[in-house]
Amino acid sequence: MSEIAHFINGQIVNGNSSRRQDVFNPATGNADKTVILAGENDVDDAVRAAKEAWPEWSKTPVLRRARILDKFKNILWERLNQLAEVISSEHGKTIDDAIGEVTRGLEVVEFATAAPTLMKGEFSENVGSDVDSHMIRQSLGVCVGITPFNFPAMVPMWMFPVAIVTGNCFVLKPSERDPSASILIAEWLKEAGLPDGVFNVIQGDKIAVDRLISHQDVKAISFVGSTPIANYIYTTGTAKGKRVQALGGAKNHMVIMPDADLEMATNALMGAAYGSAGERCMAVSVAVPVTEAVADALVQRLVPKIKELKIGPATDTSSEMGPLVTAQHLEKVAGYIDAGESEGADVVVDGRNFKQDKQGYENGFFIGGTLLDNVKENMSCYREEIFGPVLSVVRKNSYQEALDLIHGHEYANGTAIFTRDGDIARNFMQDVEVGMVGVNVPIPVPMAFHSFGGWKSSIFGDHAMHGMEGVRFYTRIKTTTTRWPTGLRQNPEFKMPTLG
């Protein structure tokens, strides 16, 4: 059984901890690997390596930093399938989905290679008599990324490319459920020419997280995960004077108006609700058809498509949906379906009945696609983030009722509307209180040169991820005002200086 360790100061290291945790292949249900869980001393070693590398790295010309990332980008393109296979073996998502994940992460790397432009400052001549002023962006120091299991490559790449290209050093704490991708990334960064200590990986659980967010040498923390943990990391980190961007949970609604292309909306819902087994923070988990007629027609179209979903391991290229990440998560998702049924929702398609009959995969963590109809706002299957292939249909009679439904939820990560009416679409874009909006686009994940982030309980902190928001988060501005002697002597001034 192979063992996954840490990457500190350019080397694979086991560290000092004796704690281990199994890493499962979700498709087979077998524990094929173990991961070392760091102790506080291991975290200290990683932070120390980053801190010691920072003075030189921060003064490395930004163009040189960008060129290293460009080499890393080319390595990723060449080995995309290798990384995708590792992701699939530990997360369970299909190979095509894993390739898509890596590709979206690569877009942030491509964005970060533009750092010579992104880091440009400002200069103003003669802000006063013989006085000039200029602003520059400088790095923070040691930055930390704490990332979830559902995107073991993409979410780290939302963070570290922008962080390191702007002159920071980075410590990544990936999910202990699928940790191997982080080590490949670290090794490939070193191969691209990244100096030792600039990028480090600590495997671990809450012990590692707590040490990272309290460490006096950590200047900034990026997090993606559930809302309770996002809130904990934000409140703990900011109380200790750190910058924190913490992205939390989601309950994404898709409104289907009476004039929508229903076949287009149905196909969009299938991918958005059941892709990656629903383990996406941007998955659409609530369909909001407007009028009973649209709801009936939508459900009628969805049912056969859900029943025909090809559910299987990533090794089967015909699979459209893989297993859930762990047995515990499978039990949790099934529990939400149980609760929805007991609270009065109609279980139109029941994923609990699915049995995997492919040889060798009978014990995998598989569940079928589920459709719940006539879901009400007070039901736990609506209020809470399920993070599984469960689509709830909440019927509404008007556009305003649909909008009010979205506004009544604590999460405000992403949303979408399907309509042919430009007036309705424009009103929705302006009125809806959600961070990311799609019009006839079911999963409106912004491109890397824009920024990713929701509103309300879906985010804690003032900065979204990647794009210019990412550059602002990982840098601080310094403004310098200069005057050079001109041969004229000045008398002391004791009032507030004015330069105009």
Is 44 exposed, middle or buried, given 0-12, 13-18 or 19+ CB atoms closer than 10 A?
Answer: middle
**SS3 per residue for 10-34:** CEEECCCCCCEEEEEECCCCEEEEE
- The predicted pLDDT at position 495 comes to 76
3-state secondary structure of 121: coil
Per-residue pLDDT of the chain (500 residues; tens, 9 = 90+): 799 999 999 999 999 999 999 999 999 999 999 999 999 999 999 999 999 999 999 999 999 999 999 999 999 999 999 999 999 999 999 999 999 999 999 999 999 999 999 999 999 999 988 899 999 999 999 999 999 999 999 999 999 999 999 999 999 999 999 999 999 999 999 999 999 999 999 999 999 999 999 999 999 999 999 999 999 999 999 999 999 999 999 999 999 999 999 999 999 999 999 999 999 999 999 999 999 999 999 999 999 999 999 999 999 999 999 999 999 999 999 999 999 999 999 999 999 999 999 999 999 999 999 999 999 999 999 999 999 999 999 999 999 999 999 999 999 999 999 999 999 999 999 999 999 999 999 999 999 999 999 999 999 999 999 999 999 999 999 999 999 877 656 677 777 776 55
CB 406 within 8 A of CB 233: no
- Domain assignment present for residue 12? The answer is yes
**Do 35 and 105 share a structural domain?**
yes
CA distance 23 to 5: 12
**Do 60 and 96 share a structural domain?**
yes
Instruction: Please give the model's pTM, rounded to 2 decimal places.
Output: 0.95
3-state secondary structure of 398: coil
**Do 221 and 134 share a structural domain?**
yes
**Do 208 and 85 share a structural domain?**
yes
Final residue belonging to a domain, choices 439, 468, 495:
439
- The predicted pLDDT at position 500 comes to 55
Residue at 49: amino acid letter: A
Active-site hit among 143, 169, 281, 381:
281
CA distance 121 to 237: 29
**Do 273 and 223 share a structural domain?**
no
- Domain assignment present for residue 352? The answer is yes
- Domain assignment present for residue 106? The answer is yes
Give residue for tokens 């524990």. Answer: 31
- The predicted pLDDT at position 488 comes to 58
CA distance 262 to 418: 9
CA distance 187 to 99: 19
**Do 217 and 348 share a structural domain?**
no
CB 92 within 8 A of CB 316: no
- Domain assignment present for residue 498? The answer is no
CATH number, domain at 406?
3.40.309.10
281-306 residue pLDDT tens: 999 999 999 999 999 999 999 999 99
- Domain assignment present for residue 299? The answer is yes
CA distance 35 to 87: 15
**Do 225 and 117 share a structural domain?**
yes
Number of folded domains that form the chain: 2
Q: For 387-397, give one letter per residue: b (16+ CB within 10 A) or e.
A: bbbbbbbbbbe
- Domain assignment present for residue 466? The answer is yes
Final residue belonging to a domain, choices 439, 469, 494:
439
**Do 129 and 80 share a structural domain?**
yes
Q: Which of 41, 40, 46, 44 is nearest to 6 (CA)?
A: 46
Is there a catalytic annotation at residue 281? yes
- The predicted pLDDT at position 492 comes to 74
**Do 203 and 98 share a structural domain?**
yes
**Do 355 and 208 share a structural domain?**
no
Q: Which of 88, 101, 102, 76 is nearest to 32 (CA)?
A: 88
Residue at 421: amino acid letter: D
- The predicted pLDDT at position 487 comes to 61
**Do 261 and 243 share a structural domain?**
no
- Domain assignment present for residue 500? The answer is no
CATH number, domain at 115?
3.40.605.10
Final residue belonging to a domain, choices 439, 467, 495:
439
Phi-psi region of 64 (alpha: psi -120 to 50; beta: other; left: phi over 0): alpha
CA-only gyration radius of the chain, Å? 25
CA distance 93 to 83: 13
Question: In which domain, by residue range, is 147 found?
Answer: 2-248+458-480
- Domain assignment present for residue 499? The answer is no
**Do 242 and 310 share a structural domain?**
no
